[in-house]
Structure 1
């Protein structure tokens, strides 16, 4: 079995490509069913966020990577060559290292950001719910969570938390230097928008409006930050008083169109609007950015804010890399031990089968009245012959084929050094 990590992220693909390959929560159920049906894929976890879509899986055949690319192409209606041009893949220990780096936030746009670990745990739980992850892959994710916890505990990678949400608010502050006179419209009520709302509240924002498909969730967040909750249908009227608009939903189609924003600008007498679209697929039509008095940014536009964070956290990241290196070595060692355990189990079962056969024969001979001493001698002789016959034959074959590597290994495995020293011959 081969471990494979295959995907695209913010470094290899622009947002217009990432949004085509992203999986919505609703799509994941069908995705797991189809993945399980692919020949040679024994276990899989699908991670899909605004910055990356990755598939971690155990392959029975080395050509499984091509099958996954073809499946992604067919599932999303994107040419396979387009996916190949911006995808990456890791195998074996490299895949283990990649997963750990992602979980620890070392592969994120914001170095060390904590949200990704929660997203990986959520992806893992979804895979478990759909019975798509088990065995080696299940153990790998558990081990990865342990390493991520160690990194958070033993390094300063999480000091002064900075996230996509923080970067968005930081960028808004460059346009509106006094948040106490600004109002914000937040679209969505997920974790990212929750963080945005908290950062805005801490910055002293005058008012917050939270719009969400499920108004109950919007109300919960609005209550937390002293804001107002509305439905998605009320967004056009809310836009007229929104200086800052930050959106992050799982909608497959845009929520804000050019016409809607044009109407809001007219009602606002063309006072400027700052917009950040964190969603993938995007919530705000790209044509909105062509409007005068609108400053529209996507997640790919947050690099400047994020780069400053990267410099501050690099020392902690170096420590994290060392912990991950040890984590990869530990995983590889434990996997080899588990692999040997399976072989030992099979060897013991084989020996047990021979023992039972010899025991049954001996008991039959005793029942026939044969002398116990003679039966015991015959039993021990037959049992030792049966146990040693296969190994002895393979050693002779290895010697004839000049397989000195096998002979040296057999000497180390089969011969007791103390017994050899006492051998009078």
Structure 2
């Protein structure tokens, strides 16, 4: 039996790839069923947040193990294997345990020591219960990591000024603007971090929030939760242009302009 941790995060993969590798709560059971159907996999936990997607597995050692798991991940998400390989990291046995401890403690987060990750790891462990049921090695791995993360929080100063990315963004906005009650904010995306940003902004009585997302339905759902307006990707640029302090230059509009004007740019 071998313990593995494999995945991608904010340090190894761009947002576009991280979004494609995400496991949503609605599809988690199906993903676990497919993962556990792989002959080498004895048990597994799926951790999927805005900044990382990781698989923690108990597997039987075999030839081409890494190839088989990469192939499963690519087939499940419809990814090109070469694209994923460039961003994927792989930890085994003690290294896998150490990695999980770092993640749960906030040492591997985008904002060092951010407090939300431990709750996210615990939720992933609970939501993946069918994947680690009766797999004592995975159970011990996660329970020990929870214990270590708690000690890191209580015995060090890592949490003294730790903030989430969402809270940091709102704090910066409050430093720039005298009062958020007169400000219109455009939020691009509708994931977990944007939900938290919306919550913090609402607590500080922001005048108006416009939420733009790739799918109108998700933007609208978050807007209704926040009592705000949802927007389509096509409309968000107009919203940004009305309130911008600087010019926005996008590659495609510039290329279109150049083509219309015979290659001349002024």
Q: TM-score range by the shorter chain?
A: 0.7 to 0.9
Q: Name the structure 2 match of 1:179.
A: 180
Question: Is the 1:9–1:18 Cα contact (8 Å) retained in structure 2?
Answer: yes
Which whole-Å CA distance do the structure 1 matches of 2:163 and 2:127 have between them? 27
Counterpart check, 1:69 vs 2:64 = no
Q: Name the structure 2 match of 1:154.
A: 155
Give how far 1:6 is off.
Answer: 0.6
- Cα deviation code 1:59-88 (max 9, x no counterpart): 112443221101011111112122111111
Larger Rg: 1
Give how far 1:193 is off.
Answer: 2.4
Which whole-Å CA distance do the structure 2 matches of 1:288 and 1:161 have between them? 37
Q: Name the structure 2 match of 1:168.
A: 169
- CA gap of 1:207–1:103, structure 2 versus 1, over 3 A, is same
Give how far 1:166 is off.
Answer: 2.0
Question: Aligned to 1:86, what secondary structure does the other structure show?
Answer: coil
Counterpart check, 1:84 vs 2:85 = yes
Question: Aligned to 1:261, what secondary structure does the other structure show?
Answer: helix
- CA gap of 1:194–1:86, structure 2 versus 1, over 3 A, is closer
Give how far 1:35 is off.
Answer: 0.6
- Cα deviation code 1:71-116 (max 9, x no counterpart): 0111111121221111111111111000000000100110001111
- CA gap of 1:131–1:82, structure 2 versus 1, over 3 A, is closer
Q: Name the structure 2 match of 1:193.
A: 195
Give how far 1:201 is off.
Answer: 3.4
- Cα deviation code 1:5-55 (max 9, x no counterpart): 111111111111211211122221211011111111101001111111110
Q: Name the structure 2 match of 1:257.
A: 233
- CA gap of 1:136–1:108, structure 2 versus 1, over 3 A, is same
Question: Runs of 5+ in structure 2 lacking a partner?
Answer: 212-218, 255-266
Question: Aligned to 1:148, what secondary structure does the other structure show?
Answer: helix
Which whole-Å CA distance do the structure 2 matches of 1:159 and 1:290 have between them? 45
Q: Name the structure 1 match of 2:262.
A: none
Q: TM-score, normalised by structure 2?
A: 0.78
Q: Name the structure 2 match of 1:96.
A: 97
- Give 1 or 2: higher helix fraction: 1
Counterpart check, 1:272 vs 2:244 = yes
Question: Aligned to 1:138, what secondary structure does the other structure show?
Answer: helix
Question: Is the 1:9–1:51 Cα contact (8 Å) retained in structure 2?
Answer: yes
- CA gap of 1:262–1:105, structure 2 versus 1, over 3 A, is closer
Which whole-Å CA distance do the structure 1 matches of 2:41 and 2:195 have between them? 36
Which whole-Å CA distance do the structure 1 matches of 2:196 and 2:222 have between them? 15
Which whole-Å CA distance do the structure 2 matches of 1:176 and 1:214 have between them? 24
Q: TM-score, normalised by structure 1?
A: 0.51
Q: Name the structure 2 match of 1:413.
A: none
